[in-house]
Chain A
Amino acid sequence: MAENEKKVVQKKEQQQEEKPKVDFNKFPEVRKIKEKFPEAIEEMDYFREELTLRIKKDYIVKVCELLRDDPELSYNYLEDICGVHYPKREKPLEVVYHIYSVSRRTRIRLKVSLAENEEVESVCSVWPSANWFEREAYDMVGIRFANHPDLRRILLPEDWEGHPLRKDYPLEGPPGYREKWLREHLPYYNKL
């Protein structure tokens, strides 16, 4: 049984190595960004018919403005911003943007990698709806956005400690937190 599983794993790994090469210049997004900001794109990926571009931190607002304002691209709808924590990487935090063009019916994913103490420029000036998504990314993963109009916690109470969607945050909450909370809020806790 175990051997079979190993074989399956090996097969899968082989499949991944045989990933077909994609000509990224066929995407107008890539061409336009390369034309205007030659150094902005760090990495490109095409998986399950989804285009992913890793953008350098300093270029994110400029690239977003280009994507929104260029008539050929017209990415006018920000679908989502979320943070992901990769503790083993050199730059452990990642911001993922999903942007959609309502007129062209296409979607693009942008990524920005950040070190622990780095900030990324907010895209609220490009799409006002980024306000809440960025607040959520701050609340859940602890990504800080520069020039955000109102960077506060959104889902958790304001006095919450830590950022729950980090990988080092335990599922049950911080150790001793529950007991501490009960001790403070339950008058007869000690007598139980």
Chain B
Amino acid sequence: MAVKEEQQFKELMAKGTSLGKVDEDIMRETIRTQDYWINMGPQHPSTHGVLRLILSLQGERIVDTEVVIGYLHRGTEKLAEARTYHQIIPLTDRLDYLASPAMNFGYVLAVEKLMEIEVPERAEYIRVMMAELARISSHLLWLATHALDIGAMTVFLYCFREREMVLDLFEMATGGRLITSYYRIGGVAHDLPDGFLDKVKEFCEIFPKRVQDYDDLLYANRIWLSRTVNVAKISAEKGLALGLSGPSIRGSGVNWDLRRANPYSVYDKLDFEVAVFDGCDVYARYLVRRKEMLESCKIVKQCAEYLEKTSGPVMAKVPKVLKPPVGEVYMATEAPKGELAYYIVSDGSQRPYRLKIRTPSFANLIALPEMVKGHLVADVIAAIGSIDIVLGEVDR
């Protein structure tokens, strides 16, 4: 680097400047390059919350990145130790507030695994349907803001139109739009309201056509391609070593989706494809999430068809006071952002002895410094967008 700069400097000196020939010593004193640091966040709009990055730069190239987190730390794990198993459900909503059903899902599955509770099949289908709707809503918000960060304003408006439809569905079924707290240990809070499944089917009809709208704007857009292709590349091996999971690692060609790898709930009865692309860059991660939205839509449709035909209880017989046996479980689920896992240590009392929440955003963020090394500052924005973090989940 230094040799090249020296050469450039000499070339510049030989050519002369607009002021004519200048003494070389004076030039050397006034023009020089040095590393410097730039602070990005925690109030930067494109960090999607309160993420702070300290970028070490040489020119506009990134040499090193330090990630500072913890601005949204609420002590969820400590709070959980003081609450009963039922009371923890609303806390899990607040982790990834953009896909709260998926957060509830992981937690109730962990407690059910610990207590060996059999859940009625109808409840399982309702849960899977809600979790997949949450995945669609989360990916839509991701696509909207990611495109907005990179400079495509229109996509934002289109994506929010469909996200609104999903949130309306949540509101109809649960009363809440973002923080739903719909899941219970052993089932769901109550059955779906009348007319809900018709609306879901209507959504499933409309949605693939709407994805076409986003494709028209982005898929082969020259600006989009130049901002995403070959940006923030990370190989499969390095990505796994650095803790990437979910869509972020499937963009590097790793066929690993926990819904297929270790099927939980009724995912083994449903027909869907795992989206894998091997571009290793921001564009590949975009393709993965785009396809995942369509696959989730397929799952939602299958669930709706099943639920229409059947009726039955939506809640298992679970005692009001839960006292799980002594032991510990680790339940990993595929949340929209990656692997979400709850590690519960039970001492046989009504409250968990320890609840560790392994969140995908936290683990995905570990790989960010490696991804952006050598890139321009503007590419950091694209890289942050491509790993899809939510700070509520990172800081817990």
User: What residues make up the interface of A, taking CB atoms closer than 8 Å to B?
Assistant: 9, 12, 15-16, 47-48, 50, 52, 76-80, 82, 84-85, 96, 98, 100, 102, 105, 107, 109, 127-129, 131-132, 140, 153-157, 164-165, 169, 171
Closest to A131 in B: B366
Q: What are the 8 A-B residue pairs with the smallest beta carbon separation, nearest first?
A: A129-B243, A155-B70, A80-B358, A82-B356, A155-B73, A105-B261, A47-B327, A84-B354
What residues of chain A lie closer than 8 Å to B116, measured between beta carbons? Answer: 48
| Number of interchain pairs (Cβ within 8 Å) | 99
CB of A91 to closest CB in B, whole Å: 16
- Complex Cα distance, B254 from A93, in Å, reads 36
- Complex Cα distance, B326 from A12, in Å, reads 10
- Complex Cα distance, B70 from A121, in Å, reads 25
Interface residues of B in 78-101 (CB under 8 A from A): 78-79, 81-82
CB of B240 to closest CB in A, whole Å: 5
What residues of chain A lie closer than 8 Å to B329, measured between beta carbons? Answer: 47-48, 50
Docked-complex contact A80 and B343, CB < 8 angstroms = yes
Docked-complex contact A171 and B82, CB < 8 angstroms = yes
Docked-complex contact B241 and A98, CB < 8 angstroms = no
- Complex Cα distance, B396 from A140, in Å, reads 12
Docked-complex contact A165 and B325, CB < 8 angstroms = no
Q: Interface residue count for B (Cβ, 8 Å)?
A: 45
Interface residues of B in 240-297 (CB under 8 A from A): 240-243, 245, 254, 256, 261-262
Docked-complex contact A155 and B69, CB < 8 angstroms = yes
What residues of chain A lie closer than 8 Å to B339, measured between beta carbons? Answer: 79
CB of A49 to closest CB in B, whole Å: 9
Closest to A139 in B: B70
Instruction: Say if the beta carbon of B77 comes within 8 Å of chain A.
Output: yes
Closest to B362 in A: A132
Given contacts A129-B366, A155-B395, contact A48 B113 (CB under 8 A): yes
Given contacts A79-B358, A155-B73, A171-B79, contact A98 B256 (CB under 8 A): no
- Complex Cα distance, B210 from A42, in Å, reads 57
Given contacts A102-B240, A129-B363, contact A48 B327 (CB under 8 A): yes
CB of A62 to closest CB in B, whole Å: 18
CB of A134 to closest CB in B, whole Å: 11
- Complex Cα distance, B241 from A12, in Å, reads 41
Given contacts A105-B261, A155-B69, A155-B396, contact A164 B240 (CB under 8 A): no
- Complex Cα distance, B2 from A176, in Å, reads 55
What residues of chain B lie closer than 8 Å to A12, measured between beta carbons? Answer: 323, 325, 348
Of B240, B323, B345, B395, which one neighbours A77 at CB under 8 angstroms? B240
CB of B374 to closest CB in A, whole Å: 18
Instruction: Say if the beta carbon of B332 comes within 8 Å of chain A.
Output: yes
Docked-complex contact A127 and B73, CB < 8 angstroms = no
Closest to A155 in B: B70
